[in-house]
Amino acid sequence: MKKNHTIKQISNKSRILLFFAIVFIGGALIFNYSWASSSSSSSTFASIHYNWVREKNDLVTLPNFFNATDKIASFKGQKDEIPERLLSGTFADLPAPETEWEEMAPAPVPRLDGASIQINDLFFVFSGYRNLDHVHSHVDVYNFTSNKWEEGFATPKQMANSHLGMATDGRYIYVVSGQQGPQCRTPPVAETFVLDTQTRKWQSFPPLPEPRYAPATQVWRGRLHVMGGGKENRHTPSLDHWSIAVKNGKPLEKTWRKEVPIPRGGPHRACVAVGDRLYVIGGQEGDFMPKPGSPIFKCSRRHEVIYGDVYMLDDKMKWHTLPPMPKPDSHIEASWVVLNNSIVIAGGTTEKNPVTKRMILVGELFQFDLDSKKWHVIGKLPYRVKTTQAAYWNGWFYITSGQRDKGPDNPQPRKVVADLWRTKLRL
């Protein structure tokens, strides 16, 4: 009887030892799998090149679950309880070759959400915010031949100060719609003006059928085209597309003509005419709106969708969808030049941080080859920046103004700048 009891004890100990052995082996296998997975994940993210020297290893958090927006919502306000994984704060940066920039004399004032037009060796930079509580009502002019800022001049009192639509026929600059005043005032204005860049005189022009924020605007095939942008509440994207015949700074028609709607609406896009093709690039749906009841129209955050869509309008007035940008990009309406049958675009904003919802700035220089219809990342800017103004003269690519990042390790927007930079660019 005692012998049987001893055998039973030994048998129980064996089972216990076997159980712990299985647990140990299983744990080892799980650790090995987890290590392999993390190595694979690390190698994936290691392929993302950080374009700027990092001052510190800052991290952002991303939820550690997939397609579970209801769970994310349920954790709102419970930051410490959100299941998370860590990614670099510059996860949006793309691999880009080193680019040498030369700093030139800064613009007379910092500006954000302004506009610009280059005509030969003169660069006209318009209005914009100095900060959310102060807007400009003048034009600064940079002379590429002398590399100096010339004396500026005022804009009409009725003209918008930011979110302008703007285009030129080579002498006259057409300024369309936009927002008057600071913060996030609504509604925008429908007034349109024409600047004779030789006499520096302003003339009125038939107003847009409806006010718009930051519409895509271009002179193409003898007509001034205005499309997309934000509607009167500043947030709702518009698909509307209007045009009016123009010549020597004057309208040839009394009213705007309705055209085929743009495939996707929204503001802050590049609009480029090359030959008999019109290109609309990037942009967003939604924008900040005035805070309800605010006497100063204080800006209130709203949901935005940033996209990299590219649309082309042909001479038969038919829209075509082309390959999208390397990543979603907005706030690029004056951040482009045409060079050797390519469109070059600098900076902008991309998708927001998925947890903090903070805006992420873009620091790459993109090229869209119009022959191959392919995108390339051809350089990086001195820092990430949105609504920078771009121009090209005598082999040099220039950028000025905009809102830059918080530093090499933080892609969020911070300071509005007046900086002027240039780099040699040949494609």
In this structure, the chain runs to a length of 427
CA distances in angstroms from 231 to 76, 240, 266, listed in the order given: 30, 10, 9
189-196 and 201-205 beta bridge pairing? antiparallel
Summarize pLDDT for 353-409 with one digit per residue, the tens.
Answer: 887 888 999 999 999 999 999 999 999 999 999 999 999 999 999 999 999 999 998
Q: Are 323 and 310 in contact (CB under 8 A)?
A: yes
Q: What residue ranges of the chain have pLDDT lower than 70?
A: 1-91
**Backbone dihedral region for residue 354 (phi beyond 0: left; psi -120 to 50: alpha; all else: beta):** alpha
Give this prediction's pTM. Answer: 0.81
Task: Show the tokens assigned to 56.
Answer: 């510190």
pLDDT of residue 77: 45
Q: How far apart are CA 424 and CA 393, in angstroms?
A: 10
